[in-house]
Structure 1
Amino acid sequence: MDQLQSLKAFQKVVEKGAFNRAAEALGMPTSTISKAVMDLEKHLKVKLLHRTTRKITITQEGMEYYERTYQLMSELQAIDAEISGKKYAPSGHLRIDCQVSFATLQLIPALKDFQRQYPDITLGLGINDRTADLIDEGIDCVIRLGGQQIPGMVERKLLDLEFVTSASPAFIAQYGMPDSPKLLGKSYPTVAYFRTSSTNSLPLIYEQGSEKVVVDQASYTANNGRGILDMALNGLGIIQHERLFAEPYITQGKLVELFSDWKQRSMPLNIVYPPNRHQSARLQVFIDWMIDTFRA
């Protein structure tokens, strides 16, 4: 048994959550990865992984072994790089899922800087507003807006996103300028967000002193923020959207801000990732870069 290769195979299975994804990452057949882990278990005389037809889970002994050997492997990689005269740099592939508006309007324009700093890291970017299964789908981390906490995952807040209400000049020319959110959904069409897992749209919420207005009628709905913005820009209705994404269009005069004297909600934008105590170096530098780049 090549213990070093078996250890690399085991660590990659833990990080990817599946033998086939570990095999793809290491460029080896799945059968080779499976045999390497079995050989390692036989050598240690302990079960490292529980295997079922649907998924694998790490045992307590497996987690302890992973955590204690992770630092060892990182140090070995750094020593190899130092002896060969090369500065150690994180490398490999990252699979990221990101909320649509943040991906298209913020993250993608900034990725050149990440590529410049870490040229040996490749990145696969899933752009959607759905709730992803990080382990089953082999996703390293997701960037998402609010929502319920995903059980067993770590969440780090990037920033709080406040909401703003707006409509296009063409819409206002057609319907007139509304003077209260109480008129929305009745005299004024609205555009709202719906989650893919539900047919119900999220309400538009306003507060002023002790008064609260909840608008739960929508003429149009969309399941991602980019679509909501485009509907508003095309004069279909009034939207309540994250200011970070709507502000450029308000500044350009393509959208007009409404109800600035009413308090509107805010939601956190989070980075979510599995709770391994020792993250891969490439994931750690990506998280650090995201925080340095976008945290207010």
Structure 2
Amino acid sequence: MDQMLALRVFVRIAESGGFGKAADTLNIPRPTVTKLIQDLETHLRVKLFQRSTRKVTVTDEGQAYYHRALKVLADVDEMDTLFADSSGTPRGRLRVDIGSSLANLILLPHLPLFRQRYPEIQLELGVSDREVDLIGEGVDCVIRGGELTDTSLIARRIASLDWGTYGGTGYMRSRKLPRHPEELYGEHDLVGYFSSRTGRVFTMFFERGDEKIQIDPKCTRGVSVN
């Protein structure tokens, strides 16, 4: 039995709540995950999980083992990072999820340069606008816009982007050019954004000097954002 791999599999199952999720995020066949846990339980002579057809729960012994396993894995990862830093070459697996607009406009065009600079990093890139469960899905970091809703996560602001309201050339030829945001009501078709988490359509906000105007798009089309 590869005990270090078994520890990582055990921790991922405990955090994600399922053997299948652990197998998918670690990119390991599901029978291998089951065998590793069986061998680990045999080695320890304790039951780490209570398994049923609907859910997997951690036993009391499994909870105690989980906290110690976390410390062991953290120490091992710290040692690996220490020696990797000493060689000056970052290496390992990095799984990132980023919104589609930022991916297409900023990240993807720079991927060749990143690969050239860090050839030993195995980058797994997900492009989506959905809410991601970092622990359950084994994602190292996500790049999103807006306020941080999960206070248990560590966030860093990397950029500030302005919102704009635009009209296509062909569309504007067929409609009256608005001189004031209030003219958008009833005279124009508005396409807005809505939250995939709440379903709420984001309000359009306009500001010039001391004048501030908010407009509810009441849009019939939308782009899902988090």
Provide Cα deviations, 1:272-293, integer angstroms capped at 9, x if missing partner: xxxxxxxxxxxxxxxxxxxxxx
Provide Cα deviations, 1:250-292, integer angstroms capped at 9, x if missing partner: xxxxxxxxxxxxxxxxxxx9xxxxxxxxxxxxxxxxxxxxxxx
Provide Cα deviations, 1:136-179, integer angstroms capped at 9, x if missing partner: 33333221111451253222222222212222222322223211
Equivalents in 1 of 2:208, 2:124: separation in Å?
A: 43
Deviation at 1:105, TM superposition (A): 1.2
Measured at CA, do residues 132 and 149 of structure 1 come closer, stay the same or move farther in structure 2, by a change above 3 Å?
A: same
Task: Tell me, yes or no, if the aligned pair for 1:193 and 1:224 is still in contact at 8 Å.
Answer: yes
Higher relative contact order (CA 8 A, sep 6+): 1
Instruction: Write out aligned runs for 1:208-219 (5 A).
Output: 208-219=208-219
Corresponding residue of 2:180: 180
Equivalents in 2 of 1:79, 1:211: separation in Å?
A: 57
Equivalents in 2 of 1:15, 1:88: separation in Å?
A: 27
Q: What is the one-letter code of the residue matched to 1:172?
A: M
Counterpart check, 1:207 vs 2:207: yes
Corresponding residue of 1:11: 8
Task: Tell me, yes or no, if the aligned pair for 2:193 and 2:222 is still in contact at 8 Å.
Answer: yes
Equivalents in 2 of 1:66, 1:148: separation in Å?
A: 26
Q: State the number of aligned residues.
A: 214
Amino-acid identity (%): 23
Equivalents in 2 of 1:64, 1:108: separation in Å?
A: 39
Corresponding residue of 1:96: 96
Q: Which residue among 26, 30, 33 is the counterpart of 1:30?
A: 33
TM value normalised by structure 2: 0.72
Measured at CA, do residues 141 and 39 of structure 1 come closer, stay the same or move farther in structure 2, by a change above 3 Å?
A: farther
Deviation at 1:117, TM superposition (A): 2.6
Corresponding residue of 1:66: 70
Corresponding residue of 1:144: 144
Task: Tell me, yes or no, if the aligned pair for 2:21 and 2:137 is still in contact at 8 Å.
Answer: no
Deviation at 1:65, TM superposition (A): 4.1
- Aligned residue for 2:161, secondary structure, equals strand
Equivalents in 2 of 1:40, 1:141: separation in Å?
A: 34
Equivalents in 2 of 1:88, 1:35: separation in Å?
A: 37
Deviation at 1:102, TM superposition (A): 0.6
- Aligned residue for 1:163, secondary structure, equals coil
Deviation at 1:205, TM superposition (A): 1.0
Structure 1 gaps of 5+ residues are 226-268, 270-296
Provide Cα deviations, 1:34-79, integer angstroms capped at 9, x if missing partner: 135435655xx8x9x6666545678466335423442235536876
Structure 2 gaps of 5+ residues are none
Provide Cα deviations, 1:193-221, integer angstroms capped at 9, x if missing partner: 12234444211012334432111134442
Q: Name the Cα RMSD after superposition.
A: 3.7
Measured at CA, do residues 50 and 35 of structure 1 come closer, stay the same or move farther in structure 2, by a change above 3 Å?
A: closer
Farther off after superposition, 126-135 or 103-112:
126-135
More strand by share: 1
Corresponding residue of 2:79: 75
